[in-house]
Structure 1
């Protein structure tokens, strides 16, 4: 049985469990048994994999994008609104990120108890060479996952306890936090060591069966992301160029693998919402979910479709970020832009093609039915209907059926690292280090060249701006390319641009098919407080550990 299968059933096979930082327990098997058989070892590793995040099933359906200016959730009872309403707090947290300490504890337990030599007793088994080859990778996979989870905590809380071993109950509540920079230094060192040891392959031998397992590319991608965050304004207020240089070099290492490529967006399985995501040539690492479900579609299909709930609805803020097809920014003061908001009079697309892969707009087709978000349209005017005039397209699987007579579910996988992010990481780091057009020796591209490689995949005009205008283009490219992939929420924080989330706009569409009128309307006003750049530590953790220091102003 493959790792991916164990991930899907991990909750039924835990050998390491628990929900807090202060102890480790087993389900009754002895530690000796747990670490003496390959199948048990594989389950233990799968359990650590099982903490990998997906934004498709978080916050009771609300994606983190719906706490940004890219989307709002149709149902205001959802806790995602606590962020925009500024009513979250140390005693009313909105995220389960603290649970990553459980994953870290399980990883530490595995690393302390794993001994590959115990498998030598199976040397006469037919599959001995295969299981030994895979088991050799286990500690490196777990070290990578531990580093990944440590970063997930650090990007939320900043300074965190860096727990690299298991702790006894009497000592865990005295651990002291490490600085964000120290945490990133550990992640980088760990990634470097895994690479130096040649600990993980470029590809796993059983490509399809082992899809979802960590690779060399995933390790380098984590290093790239961690160093990008460390170089950004939130953690680098002085703009130290040395930090940007490190981030650029880390992204360049992924590029230098010559493993990944960017297909045209219309042919990239990553955009299509089906379960072939892992066939995308730019996919580096993903959270696999082998369960065949229709929950995501039920939560996000337009109201009026059978079994649908509206869900995460893109905003006009996001739609405006998609340029016209010729590369000019969309302009509400341009009558032609507004008249041809999505298509021209002949039905030809008028915008960046990525708009149509992210957003269902008035007049779009979904499941052979025309989407109507105009006033009086089929998919408006009911509880849960879009307030913005749009519904979500990205990640939606058109093969799913919500018909109760003949329901059909599909697998839903979530990209965690992909090549477009790496190129955008690289472009941003290069810009802040040496500007938009300089390409130092041994670096593959200038910032401009890397940015335009991403735009080439959408057949969009190359960026010609310079200085701050170039940076704005770069940030906008990241916004639209990585929309609904759990980046925007964190990018706003590391850039310290929180004010952008305040005013959320939609579109009011009146008239008929032959003569629609579009008006930009304010649909929501969020609150913003600079303390939100970091999450609050849960109050109960502060009570238990006086060495933890609450983040500013919480």
Structure 2
């Protein structure tokens, strides 16, 4: 079957690639022929720009609602629906097939023409422009393949571990689109190959240089001005070598994980690729001490120049002034919708202040459950009595909470007090939200926000997980730091004791559990838990729990909130039903055939 692609009609991006905030400004629809690219670098960049607009990590999806970490008070929430049993190959909010495949299509089209584009009148600059643009394209293609494997890699009915079709050539109306999926291992090789090509062409970071001596050997003969014109800080926010290395780390970890280990991937490779990223910042010594509160480091956020990243962040999205997250997630008494409700399951994941799980802690008490806890709990979750907003308003989530002005009426914030606005679990979200936002209609304010696409904390945790599996808790594979060192550093910066860590530092299995739990806490509500559970082959059906508090009796009672209806085959996401219907060579993942 042939698929007709209207690739001659492109939404072309303008040439204003000046920062992360205005990276690509879509221009009007352009019906120029593709050969127009040869003499118009802006048109060529517009083709690559179409790939950039399809980056999957551009916002917070709150996929945690589909896990044991959160529920939503919105019945229409897509992840709430799939967790309750309505996940099908025809109704799949986790689907990345269309955007990532489209991104690869634009990348391939760009690469097929890039050699012939007139990038600049200056021949030296033109050669550097070509290298950088092609390097970005190879890096983007590797990124898209990673996201496709994460969302759609899986086993067919015959027990073959498959990825997606590998397409590296530009396609037109005469191309054959009915092609089978490549193996997962072949797709990983394609990622590594593209990463290598990208790294040969891209600088590690974009930065202005001040002397010709700083120009890389391959570009000797260029002037400082020529180099800065192509590789200077004005291009911060574009794909660079460090970002490519980070995606290689992410892909290697995915492939080595239990769900995909049949591909032949090794934990050592995942650890080594992560270490390459971390060694550039000095390893553990380069960890940002304020990285665990990146979303509320207000002065730092406000002061970020266009495209600039803080120490914690390797790649970020646009910075903009808004109050969207607060509007959706502040408690209703502060004019929020309280949409995302952390679960008791998630609250229980936070250890005591000495790092011991609350199940074995000697200082944790069921009667004062929020005392003597990991400081990250109060930073990430609004629990009963927690203070929120510009006026540090105390939030009462108790089941018997009444209005402060009329005690005959229920307050707005208590558990299940008002359907569609109050918390269903006894908790509200605090992480990601700026407390200096005011939603009062008489004094509404907005503040600057951004979405981190890759945080260094993620790469530290990638390394810890892989290093523990490869070399044990204290082994380092020659990198100068171990899984133990990473977890100790994460605890130290958050003010968590390492007593428990010390007690298990020779136990690989317990260290694995601790690393998984640290990942759950540190990367919470940033879109990781949904995918981590699947790559670990971990149970998906843990019931979401809440906490009902009776303040009059001073009792805390765990309550059932939501059951999780997942089947075993759902560890691997489906190929879109419409694609399988169109192409008989495209095999569906096992279990999804008629769903």
TM tier, smaller: 0.7 to 0.9
Residues 266, 548 of structure 1: CA spacing in aligned structure 2 closer, same or farther, 3 A cutoff?
A: closer
- 1:415 counterpart residue number: 452
- 1:248 counterpart residue number: 271
Deviation at 1:201, TM superposition (A): 2.9
| Cα distance between partner residues in 1 of 2:338 and 2:202 | 45
| Cα distance between partner residues in 2 of 1:157 and 1:324 | 38
Residues 68, 7 of structure 1: CA spacing in aligned structure 2 closer, same or farther, 3 A cutoff?
A: farther
| Cα distance between partner residues in 2 of 1:204 and 1:366 | 39
User: Are the aligned partners of 1:7 and 1:46 in contact in 2 as well (CA < 8 Å)?
Assistant: no
User: Are the aligned partners of 1:194 and 1:200 in contact in 2 as well (CA < 8 Å)?
Assistant: no
For residue 49 of structure 2, the aligned residue among 46, 55, 80 is 46
- 2:405 counterpart residue number: none
TM-score of the pair, normalised by structure 2 = 0.80
Deviation at 1:178, TM superposition (A): 0.9
Residues 199, 5 of structure 1: CA spacing in aligned structure 2 closer, same or farther, 3 A cutoff?
A: closer
Residues 132, 5 of structure 1: CA spacing in aligned structure 2 closer, same or farther, 3 A cutoff?
A: farther
For residue 468 of structure 2, the aligned residue among 411, 427, 431 is 431
Residues 216, 357 of structure 1: CA spacing in aligned structure 2 closer, same or farther, 3 A cutoff?
A: farther
Per-residue deviation, residues 435-473 of structure 1 (Å, max 9, x unmatched): 222333x32222222332222221323313113111111
Deviation at 1:300, TM superposition (A): 1.4
User: Are the aligned partners of 2:109 and 2:169 in contact in 1 as well (CA < 8 Å)?
Assistant: yes
Deviation at 1:258, TM superposition (A): 2.5
Q: Radius of gyration: which is bigger?
A: 2
Unaligned runs of 5+ in 2: 1-15, 154-162, 209-227, 402-410
SS in 1 for 2:273: helix
Aligned Cα root-mean-square deviation (Å): 2.8
Deviation at 1:83, TM superposition (A): 1.6
Deviation at 1:57, TM superposition (A): 5.3
1:17-32 paired onto structure 2 within 5 Å: 27-32=30-35
Per-residue deviation, residues 181-204 of structure 1 (Å, max 9, x unmatched): 211111112212322x15233244
For residue 200 of structure 1, the aligned residue among 178, 192, 203 is 203
User: Are the aligned partners of 1:55 and 1:485 in contact in 2 as well (CA < 8 Å)?
Assistant: no
SS in 2 for 1:86: helix
1:142 aligns with 2:137: yes
Per-residue deviation, residues 205-227 of structure 1 (Å, max 9, x unmatched): 39875442222221111111111
- 1:110 counterpart residue number: 110
- 2:565 counterpart residue number: 527
* Deviation larger for 214-223 or 165-174: 165-174
* Deviation larger for 105-114 or 331-340: 331-340
- 1:13 counterpart residue number: 27
- 1:538 counterpart residue number: 576
1:553 aligns with 2:594: no
For residue 163 of structure 1, the aligned residue among 167, 173, 177 is 167
Aligned length: 518
| Cα distance between partner residues in 2 of 1:64 and 1:493 | 13
User: Are the aligned partners of 1:57 and 1:296 in contact in 2 as well (CA < 8 Å)?
Assistant: no
| Cα distance between partner residues in 2 of 1:276 and 1:383 | 39
- 1:460 counterpart residue number: 496
For residue 189 of structure 1, the aligned residue among 193, 215, 231 is 193
Residues 487, 200 of structure 1: CA spacing in aligned structure 2 closer, same or farther, 3 A cutoff?
A: same
| Cα distance between partner residues in 2 of 1:132 and 1:304 | 59
Residues 175, 405 of structure 1: CA spacing in aligned structure 2 closer, same or farther, 3 A cutoff?
A: farther
| Cα distance between partner residues in 1 of 2:47 and 2:449 | 23
SS in 2 for 1:234: helix
* Deviation larger for 378-387 or 48-57: 48-57
- 1:379 counterpart residue number: 413
User: Are the aligned partners of 1:111 and 1:139 in contact in 2 as well (CA < 8 Å)?
Assistant: yes
